[in-house]
Structure 1
Amino acid sequence: MAATSWRRSVTERRAAFLFLGETLLIPHLFPIVEALAAADPNLPVDLWVSTSMHEELLGGWIADLPNVCIRRAPGFRKVAAIQGRNPKLPAKLPMLARLAPVLSRSRVAICAEQTSLWLPTLLPMPTRFVKTSHGVGSMSARDDRRRRSAARTLVPSERERATYLERGMPPDDIVATGYVKAGFVHRTESRPNFAQTRPVILYNPHWQHHRSSWWDWGEQAVQAIVASGQWNLIFAPHQRLIEKVPELRTLCAKLNERDDVHCDYDSFAAVDGSYTAVADIYLGDTSSQLLEFLIRPRPAVFLDPREIAWESDPSYAMWACGDVVTDLDALLPALAAAAASHTRYASKQATLASDALGDVSGAAAERAAHEILTVLHG
């Protein structure tokens, strides 16, 4: 469609949610779908999905939402996979390009990732985009020019909002709603069936090389924990680590033969909050899942194989919430001492979680729905 035809097109009073990316985005978006459908039962709400896995998950939750409809995006892919497992996705940019003419008829579009913001950044679409956060913490990429194309950016906390205002973003466009995922009610509640009752460690390495402990120490850390016989281990890395380290499949298959290890790199339980809810100790590097874990403060240990000067770097503010290990030989002692040393960190953890996540009562989705309706009627 030519640019001039987009300028002339007339939008309909309808909302479009973009479920085109990894399943980890779903818990950050779907509570808003439910809140918006309840706030305006006469508003048509389209859930654009990229794969049959998204369609299956969402389809199981919308029976009581008569104004909500699932729609297949151009390039929709049918996948043969176990329910909830993160599927191989169609290429997103070609999908967005083909979706743009149809999407331009919706007055407002809601996304939880930046890729979709290429549409309002590059095309003169009449559709107004609302971007909600899917990751929190000090390492968020706030300077990306696509962010300025959103009519409204929804962030969890006033502290997070301030980081955008410092970058010159219009104050009326940045709204603190609270942490939307805290209101997600379709959690898998997957508690691994370990043979013995032991403290549970959740190891959650990041997928980006410069932010992750995996390439330096990951497998050695897993093997050391297993060999110690002191803990049960949930190894649940970021979903996208498998893209960089496909050999994880072989490692996890072998580890899952044990009765004291549960490996999960791509199921919905790995992203819906199930494992952060059941773990006793968090072990990781820079993943924002730490902040979800700290909604209920518990011991945390961080891996720093490259000996980063983190104390003076605000990007690593989360590392003030537990022991930071710079020598792999110190890992097991740090884990063993984590419960006893937690009193030193509990207050810092609670403050960090509150500052980053804002309201975690479950009301964030209602505030987000209010902002979407404001944009829709504006």
Structure 2
Amino acid sequence: MRVLFPYLAQIHQIPHSLPVAVQLALRHPQIEVHVAGVSPRHLETVRQMLGRHAPQARIALKRLDIGWEDRGLMALGRSIAGKRRTMRLNRDYFAGFDAIVTPESTSLYLRKLGIGATMIRTGHGAGDRAIAVSERVGEFDLVLIGGDKMERRMLDVGIIRRGAYVKGVYAKFDWMLPSAAGRAPLFDNGRPTVLYNPHFRPQLSSWPKWGRAVLEHFAADTRYNLIFAPHIRLFDSPMRKLHEHQLRRYAALPNIHVDLGSERSIDMSYTGAADLYLGDVSSQVTEFLYHTRPCAFLNAHGVQWTDDPNYRFWHMGPVVEACDELGATVDRAFATHADYVDRQRHYFTSSFGLTPGQTSSPHAADGIAQFLDGQAIVV
């Protein structure tokens, strides 16, 4: 049995499935595990994580072939190649596997290329947005999910079926939490630290409308430190160097740290280091709530969110409805956090189905092996 874990998107997806690949190799040696990536950075990130967490695992690595157009764009600063182009170029390679385990849904395109492998989805987040219950999820043969919240939503819309999903999985926690623990603080001034983590989609993100105002606010309000670490896709383009140049004034301030997409922006360094989460629709708030802390949310698009299940996480702290309310809302989030603690704990448990310190990649690997052996999963 040959199983492939391909990484076609940005590196933030790697920790969502690589721990599962390792456990599959260690616990089920009859399965040959392969990992493939689209760039040297992808493979270097994989090698570093394996060296740090599982040097004993026997996993074959390969860099996928990419075309001349993508080589040019990546030379200019984009971090990935076109996914469908990459799959077409590497069709014969993908065809050599019995199963393909992926964090995202674009890989279903392999079916259109005639690849008959069992398709397994790990996902790469635990938020409430509608994309989490997209019909495309239902096209996978096996789906790994978190806790009760996602199980109920997916069963209600009919995109998962009994015996074909593994519950209680969020593999990123297995490695990223220990990696982030004990790191030196980013600031040594004793002030509370706010993490501003805007999403990358313009129609959902606070960045296009309010982002600069947020940075200006914390440049002036030095009562707080600010980590500006947006979703890794926000500035992933050939224009990245220009964006870094435009933001260097903020990065030079002693109370602001800017990271547009380093490994630290994906390994929970910042969600672990911050005292308050400030964001819009990124599922990183769910990871932040591993330890209950104040949250505030930016409603830059005037969303009617209170009864919308896609914005359930906005009930974990106060919501900024107008940008000039930012300072007062952040202060209120700290002052009223006790009112949200029980709600945050329940939200975390229902999102992941895990208790702090519990690992889930062994459970995920066993479920995959069981499914590939023709057995239905018992939840």
TM-score computed with the length of structure 2 as normaliser? 0.88
Deviates more, 1:267-276 or 1:194-203: 194-203
Q: Which moved more, 1:69-78 or 1:172-181?
A: 69-78
Structure 2 regions of 5+ residues with no counterpart? 375-379
- Residue 212 of structure 2 aligns to a residue in which SS? helix
| 1:306 Cα offset (Å) | 3.0
Of the three residues 145, 148, 161, the one matched with 1:155 is: 145
Give, in whole Å, the separation in 2 of the partners of 1:62 and 1:193: 26
Correspondences of 1:163-178 after superposition (within 5 Å): 163-169=153-159, 170-178=161-169
Please point out which of 290, 293, 299 is paired with 1:304. 299
Corresponding residue of 2:377? none
* Residue 156 of structure 1, CA deviation: 1.0
Per-residue CA shift, 1:341-365, capped at 9, x if unaligned?
A: 1011111111111111221534211
User: What is the CA distance between 1:37 and its match in structure 2?
Assistant: 1.6
- Structure 1 stretch displaced more, 241-250 or 288-297: 241-250
Residues 191-202 of structure 1 aligned to structure 2 (within 5 Å): 191=184, 193-202=186-195
Change (3 A) 1:70 1:188: farther
Once residues 103 and 114 of structure 1 are traced to their aligned partners in structure 2, the CA distance between those partners, rounded to angstroms, is 16
Choose from 355, 364, 367 the match for 2:363: 367
Question: Does the 8 Å CA contact 2:95/2:115 hold for their aligned counterparts?
Answer: yes
Question: Which residue pairs with 2:179 in the alignment?
Answer: 187
Classify 1:353/1:251 alpha carbon distance in 2 versus 1 (closer, same or farther; 3 Å). Answer: farther
The yes-or-no answer on 1:330 pairing with 2:322 is no
Does 2:243 align with 1:230?
no
Alignment partners' CA distance in 1, 2:20 and 2:313: 27
1:292 to 287, 290, 309: 287
Shift of 1:123: 3.9
Partners of 2:138 and 2:158 within 8 A in 1: no
Distance 1:129 1:333 in 2: 48
Q: Which residue of 2 aligns with 1:7?
A: none
List runs of 5+ in structure 1 lacking aligned partners: 1-12
Between the aligned partners of 1:340 and 1:142, the Cα distance in structure 2 is: 32
Q: Which residue of 2 aligns with 1:127?
A: 117
Determine if the alignment matches structure 1 residue 89 to structure 2 residue 80.
yes
Q: Distance in 2 between matches of 1:42 and 1:374?
A: 12
Encode CA deviations 1:233-275: one digit per residue, 9 max, x unaligned.
1000111111488553223322121211100011011011110
Q: 1:57 aligns with which of 29, 45, 49?
A: 45
Cα deviation code 1:96-137 (max 9, x no counterpart) = 1222322222111100011112213x2443311110010212
CA distance in 1, matches of 2:29, 2:230: 38
| Alpha-carbon distance in 2 for matches of 1:140, 1:265 | 26
Q: CA deviation at 1:375?
A: 2.8
Q: Quick one: distance in 2 between partners of 1:60 and 1:180?
A: 17
CA drift at 1:194: 2.4
- In structure 1, distance between residues paired with 2:221 and 2:336: 20
| Amino acid paired to 2:345 | A
- C-alpha displacement of 1:188: 5.9
1-structure distance, mates of 2:272, 2:114 = 43
The structure whose residues are more often strand, as a share, is 1
What is the CA-CA distance between 1:87 and the residue it aligns to? 5.5
Partner of 2:59: 68
Stretch of structure 1 that moved more, 285-294 or 70-79: 70-79
Over the matched positions of the two proteins, sequence identity in percent amounts to 28
Paired residue for 1:203, among 196, 207, 212?
196
Look up the equivalent residue of 1:109 and give its one-letter code: I
Counterpart CA distance in 1 for 2:136 and 2:129 is 17
2:35 to 47, 51, 59: 47
Q: 1:61 to 1:273 in 2, by over 3 A?
A: closer
What is the root-mean-square deviation of aligned Cα atoms in Å?
2.4
Q: Report if aligned partners of 1:282, 1:290 keep a CA contact under 8 Å in 2.
A: yes
SS in 2 for 1:306: coil
Q: 2-side partners of 1:334 and 1:322: how far apart?
A: 9
Residues 280, 102 of structure 1: alpha-carbon distance in 2 compared, 3 angstrom cutoff: same
Aligned to 1:5: none
Residue in 1 that maps onto 2:92: 101
The letter for the 2-side match of 1:187 is S
- Total equivalences in the alignment: 361
Cα distance in 2 between the residues matched to 1:94 and 1:145: 23
Return the alpha-carbon distance in structure 2 between the equivalents of residues 117 and 362 of structure 1: 31
Q: Distance in 1 between matches of 2:280 and 2:320?
A: 10
Q: Quote the Cα distance in structure 1 between the aligned partners of 2:49 and 2:276.
A: 32
Q: Deviations over 1:22-56 (max 9, x none)?
A: 01001101111221122123432110111000111
SS in 2 for 1:182: helix
